[in-house]
């Protein structure tokens, strides 16, 4: 066996092990975390597309991923789509999702679990794609393994691979589209053109924010042509912007046809309606952002920079920082297709100030994996770079193991032990913590709690006995009971978002609890035992549920 073949064989086996490790941690995550805020809506919407042929439900997100997530329900003869609820609630997607998950006669986990596995499969695909692109870009099987390892060890990537969030899909198809442009710029072919158009359509069908990558690709193409390179249809060697525009038109047509197929063509106008909603979302009154202890309705330009610095493993950030000193300079001009789009996307996301969490800029993160993998490329200082690479990857692996199975609330070492000082919402508390709370209650002999829960999950579905406190997300007070004043124990459980004042009519509702040291379960629910504090008991009991 030649040295080259041996290195390729090692890379394939190592990548398979890394993907297996990623999948294994994902299974643990799925078992340990309850539904996040929007998961029920996404699953119900996808199920409605298959059941009714209409794409009107939850049109603010394109249908591709929702169709894939709900496919296990369709293929397994899942519970009937709640048409009566849809009619009575006038297609209110929150009511429909609640009916599907909690009133179908089946455990919510049995409906949500298979859908999450579909998204985890896509996450594994992204890990492998990063490895392949790193191999192609840097020309080294070791770089491919390094790229795969950085992706597999990222807790944030794993978390977003295990919940029904459209961010994973746009990251996957965004990277694929940029990579195919990179390949096409070197060797145009009809096959690559068709693949590029299809990938382009899949990207637009994953999430509307993909338009940021479209702008980035347009800028990258303009720079590529401005530098004297050729970007034209296969078989043509013309230079200039006109051939590039012809190529863009051809890719766009294939992409639009691909996108329209997802809507069965007839419902394609729903894509424009969803895009209009996203472009005018400020007028809908939603949106509340949290950064460094401050709450804002308008957000901050620097929000995503802070989120990326705190939510990505330090080993990855250090490796990418060292690699960027020389790696981009050592690459061909077509690398512009792998550098400019994520930068433009980050700039546009920052300008939009839709500060919902680091997940909104997930499409930028795979390009950091590629950059960090550049430490493994052949050349000068190879041994020194190899030592740094091994150290950074080891650091990432340790961080990944420590974060599992609560990766949503992962922060790197820069944040210290009090993550909520910096970021909240889907960076920390996405409503996923009820299973961990139930486990803590069973372990500690707590039968009932005062509960202020942020999310759309139902505590009673996990067997949690509770008296409901003011919170945000639940549709009604079903399952709530009254704790007697003479109960043997008085335990308060508050979602971290509510502790910080997010999404409450009165942001100061739980301010008086912030000076106490909580027990944190599931990374996002703060628990306080106030049994021996009559003043605190009186204060909690005075709160009126809303």
Please tell me the distance from the alpha carbon of residue 526 to that of residue 497, in angstroms, as a whole number.
10
Distance CA 359, CA 166 (A): 9
Using alpha carbons, select from 201, 194, 327 the residue that is nearest to residue 259. Answer: 201
Nearest to 350, CA basis, from 292, 409, 294, 289: 289
Residues in the chain predicted with pLDDT less than 50, given as ranges, are 329-330, 545-546
Residue 76: per-residue pLDDT: 92
Q: What is the pLDDT of residue 536?
A: 95
Q: What is the pLDDT of residue 8?
A: 86
Report how far residue 221's alpha carbon sits from residue 122's, in angstroms, rounded to the nearest whole number: 28
Tokens of 119: 């998204």
337 and 224 Cβ atoms separated by less than 8 Å? yes
Spatial separation of the C-alpha atoms in residues 197 and 187, rounded to whole Å: 16
- Which residue in 37, 165, 92 sits closest to 471, CA to CA? 37
Q: Could you tell me which residues are beta bridge partners of residue 466? A: 449, 480
207: phi then psi, degrees, rounded to nearest 5: -165, 145
Q: Regarding beta strands 448-452 and 525-529, do their DSSP bridges make them parallel or antiparallel, or are they unpaired?
A: unpaired
From the list 241, 200, 210, the residue with the least C-alpha distance to 62 is 210
Contact status, residue 257 vs residue 393, Cβ threshold 8 Å:
no
Q: How many CB atoms are closer than 10 A to CB 435?
A: 20
- pLDDT on residue 283: 57
Provide the pLDDT for residue 194. Answer: 98
Q: Quick count: other Cβ atoms within 10 Å of Cβ 159?
A: 31
Classify residue 469 as left (phi > 0), alpha (psi -120 to 50) or beta: beta
């Amino acid at each position: 066996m030649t040295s080259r073949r041996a290195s390729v064989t090692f890379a394939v086996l190592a990548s398979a092990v890394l993907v297996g490790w990623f999948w294994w941690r994902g299974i643990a995550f799925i078992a340990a975390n309850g539904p996040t805020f929007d998961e029920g809506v996404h699953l119900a919407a996808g199920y409605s597309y298959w059941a009714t042929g209409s794409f009107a439900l939850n049109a603010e997100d394109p249908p591709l991923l929702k169709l894939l997530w709900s496919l296990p329900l369709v293929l397994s003869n899942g519970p009937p789509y709640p048409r009566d609820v849809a009619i009575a609630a006038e297609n209110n997607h929150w009511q429909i999702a609640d009916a599907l998950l909690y009133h179908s006669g089946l455990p919510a986990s049995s409906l949500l679990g298979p859908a999450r596995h579909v998204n985890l499969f896509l996450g594994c695909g992204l890990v492998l794609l990063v490895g392949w692109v790193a191999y192609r870009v840097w020309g080294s099987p070791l770089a491919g393994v390094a790229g795969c390892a950085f992706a597999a060890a990222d807790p944030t990537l794993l978390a977003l691979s295990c919940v029904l969030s459209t961010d994973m899909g746009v990251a996957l198809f965004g990277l694929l589209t940029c990579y195919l442009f990179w390949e096409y710029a070197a060797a145009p072919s009809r096959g690559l053109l068709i693949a590029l158009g299809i990938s382009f359509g899949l990207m637009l069908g994953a999430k509307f924010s993909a338009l940021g990558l479209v702008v980035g690709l347009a800028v990258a193409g303009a720079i590529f042509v401005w530098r004297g390179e050729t970007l034209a249809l296969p078989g043509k060697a013309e230079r200039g912007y006109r051939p590039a525009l012809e190529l863009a038109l051809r890719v766009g047509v294939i992409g639009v046809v691909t996108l329209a197929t997802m809507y069965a063509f007839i419902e394609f106008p729903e894509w424009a309606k969803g895009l209009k909603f996203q472009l005018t979302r400020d007028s809908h009154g939603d949106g509340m952002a949290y950064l460094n202890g401050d709450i804002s309705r308008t957000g901050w330009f620097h929000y995503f920079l802070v989120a990326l610095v705190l939510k990505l493993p330090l080993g990855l950030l250090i490796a990418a920082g060292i690699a960027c000193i020389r790696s981009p300079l050592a690459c061909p001009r077509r690398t512009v297709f792998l550098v400019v789009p994520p930068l433009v996307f980050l700039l546009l996301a920052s300008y939009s100030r839709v500060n919902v969490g680091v997940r909104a800029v997930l499409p930028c993160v795979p390009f950091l994996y590629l950059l960090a993998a550049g430490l493994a490329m052949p050349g000068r200082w190879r041994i020194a770079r190899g030592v740094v690479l091994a150290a950074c990857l080891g650091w990432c692996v340790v961080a990944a193991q420590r974060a599992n199975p609560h990766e949503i609330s992962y922060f790197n070492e820069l944040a210290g032990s009090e993550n909520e000082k910096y970021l909240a919402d889907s960076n920390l508390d996405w409503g996923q913590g009820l299973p961990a709370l139930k486990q803590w209650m069973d372990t500690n002999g707590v039968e009932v709690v005062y509960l202020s829960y942020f999310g759309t999950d139902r505590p009673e579905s996990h067997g949690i006995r509770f008296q409901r406190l003011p919170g945000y997300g639940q549709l009604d007070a079903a399952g709530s009971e009254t704790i007697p004043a003479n109960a043997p124990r008085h335990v308060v459980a508050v979602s971290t978002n509510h502790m910080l004042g997010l999404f409450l009519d009165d942001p100061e509702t739980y301010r008086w609890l912030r000076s106490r040291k909580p027990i944190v379960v599931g990374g996002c629910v703060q628990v306080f035992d106030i049994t021996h504090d009559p003043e605190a008991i009186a204060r909690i009991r005075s709160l009126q549920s809303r």
